[in-house]
Chains A and B, each alone.
Chain A
Amino acid sequence: MDIQTRIVDTKALLTCSGRMDAVTAPRFEAASTELLGQGHTAQIADLSGLEYISSAGLRSILAAGKKLKAAGGSLAFCGLSGMVDEVFRVSGFLKLFKVHASEAEALEG
């Protein structure tokens, strides 16, 4: 999995691509925590390039989301498709996080 981070106005964008599995998943929480440490509490993860996610990925996302919420921030998503979208849906993650249709919408909202 590859994670690119950039700051757009007041929001931090994490663009994830590849596979978020048991081996790579901890990198998501690490990247989110690093951004939080720099003061970026409003984060958006663009998963449009992500082709696979397992429960290890959900665990990493949940941990990052809890930390951000505790810091008064938020974690939102955009670009869910295919099996990533299905895994989010059956796991109840669509209820836990705000999910936007596109990156542009996420940056506005």
Chain B
Amino acid sequence: MNTGGISLRIPATIESLGLVQDFVGEHAGRLGLGADLAGKLELVVEELVVNIGSYAYPEGEGDMEVDCVLSPDATRFCLILRDWGAAFDPLNREAPDLEAGLDEREPGGLGIFLVREMADECTYRRNGDMNEFRACFALPKEGRT
């Protein structure tokens, strides 16, 4: 399944965010992703790392693993995050009410909402004791900026 991917395994805490950004950014940089896509990727990385820190290991500590995978035909770049915490499907979360006024607007749910908006495809699966979340981005055929 892992076509030429490289991975990073580190503690699932907010302190790891900088390391994960550097890891993904370096990989994306080597692929020559444009600034627009790089910005979206950065946002998706932050939201997913924060999410794992909040939901996978609410009371303890654990690891997460980050993988960057390019599809064999080089049309898609996928970011994969794995953790071994509580089963949690972020895609089951209700979307925020974008029509609500300032008084009614609830602060939650925006992180995963932004991930779904920025990525072209998101999938979640529970594999044994592991959560695996995959966010894929379509790569432009040519004219990468």
Contact = CB atoms under 8 A, between A and B. Distances in A.
B50 interface: yes
A96 B111 CA distance: 18
B43 A22 contact: no
B27 interface: no
Nearest to B108: A59
A21 B46 contact: yes
Interface in A44-100: 52, 54-56, 58-59, 62-63, 65-66, 69, 82-83, 87, 90-92, 95-97
A22 B113 contact: no
A23 interface: yes
Interface residues of B, number: 24
A62 B117 contact: no
B43 A96 contact: no
Q: How large is the interface on A (under 10, 10 to 19, 20 to 34, 35 or more residues)?
A: 20 to 34
B59 interface: no
B89 interface: no
Interface in B60-80: none
A69 B98 CA distance: 18
Nearest to A56: B50
B110 A52 contact: no
A96 B101 contact: yes
Contacts of A56: 46, 50, 111
Contact of A22 (B14, B100, B102): B14
Interface string B18-61: 00000000000000000010011011001100100000000000
Nearest to B111: A55
Interface of A: 21-23, 52, 54-56, 58-59, 62-63, 65-66, 69, 82-83, 87, 90-92, 95-97
Which 7 A-B residue pairings sit nearest by Cβ, starting from the closest? A92-B98, A55-B111, A55-B110, A83-B39, A90-B117, A54-B46, A59-B107
